[in-house]
Chain A
Amino acid sequence: MIIVIGAGPAGLAAAEAASRNGSEVALFDSASRMGGQYWRHRAAVSGYRSNRADEIFAKVSSAQSITHISEANIWSAEREGGLIRVNYLQGGIESSLTAEKVIIATGAYDRTLPFPGWDTPGSMTPGAAQSLLKGQGVLAGKRIIIAGTGPFLLPVATGLAEAGADIVALIDANSPLRWSLSPLALLTNIAKFSELMYYARLIRKYRIRPQFRRAVTAYEDGVATISAINSRFHIKPGKSQTMRADVVAVGWGFVPDLSLGGILGCAQRVDSDGTVIFEVDENQMSSQPHIWIAGEATGIGGADLSLVEGEIAGLAASGQTIEKALLRKRVRKQRFADALKRTYPVRDGWREWITSDTTICRCEEVKSQEIKDSVSDLGAEDSRTSKLFTRAGMGLCQGRMCSRNVSEIVSGITQCAVTDGERIAASNRPIAAPISLGQLSDGKNSR
Chain B
Amino acid sequence: MKNPDAIVIGAGIVGASSALSLTNAGLKVLVIDRGAVSSGTTGAGEGNILVSDKDPGPELALALHSRNLWFEMQDDVGDSFELEAKGGVVVARRDDGPLMKLASEQSQHGVMIEKCNQSRLHELEPYLHPDISSGVFYPQDAQCQPMLAAAHVIRTVVQRGGEFISQAKVTRINVENGAVTGIETTRGTFNAPIIVNATGTWAGELAELAGSHLPIAPRKGFILVTEPTKKYIFHKVYDSDYVANVASSDADLQTSTVVEGTRSGTILIGASRERVGFDGAMNYEILRTLAAQATSLFPVLRDVQLLRAYRGFRPYAPDHLPVIGQDAKVKGLWHSAGHEGAGIGLAPGSAALITDAILGRDSFMDAAAFSPARFGRVKS
Contact = CB atoms under 8 A, between A and B. Distances in A.
- Indicate yes or no for A touching B, C-beta below 8 A: yes
Interface of A: 76, 78, 87, 263, 265, 364, 377-382, 384-385, 388-389, 391, 394-396, 398, 429-431, 434-438, 440-441, 443-445, 447
B265 to A, nearest CB: 10
Interface residues of B, number: 45
5 contacts: A377-B155, A380-B37, A381-B167, A382-B36, A437-B302
B292 interface: yes
Contacts of B289: 444
Contacts of A364: 264
B154 A379 contact: yes
Given A385-B39, A396-B228, A437-B305, 20 more contacts: A76-B284, A87-B284, A265-B281, A379-B155, A381-B167, A382-B36, A385-B43, A394-B264, A429-B308, A430-B308, A430-B310, A431-B306, A431-B307, A437-B226, A437-B301, A440-B292, A444-B285, A444-B288, A444-B289, A444-B292
B75 interface: no
Contacts of A437: 224, 226, 269, 291, 294-295, 301-306
Query: Chain B interface mostly helix, strand, loop or mixed?
Result: mixed
B227 interface: yes
B41 to A, nearest CB: 12
A277 B38 CA distance: 28
A444 B43 contact: no
Given A429-B308, A431-B306, A391 B264 contact: yes
Contacts of B151: 378-380, 389
B148 interface: yes
A435 B302 CA distance: 10
A391 B262 CA distance: 12
Contacts of B301: 437-438
B53 to A, nearest CB: 23
Nearest to B293: A441
B166 interface: yes
Nearest to B225: A394
A6 B284 CA distance: 22
A381 B284 CA distance: 31
Contacts of B227: 396, 434
B148 A378 contact: yes
Given A378-B155, A379-B164, A385-B39, A438 B295 contact: yes
Contact of A443 (B166, B288, B307): B288
A437 B302 CA distance: 5
Given A379-B37, A382-B36, A436 B303 contact: yes
Interface string B134-170: 0000000000000110011011000000001011000
B282 A430 contact: yes
A388 B292 contact: no
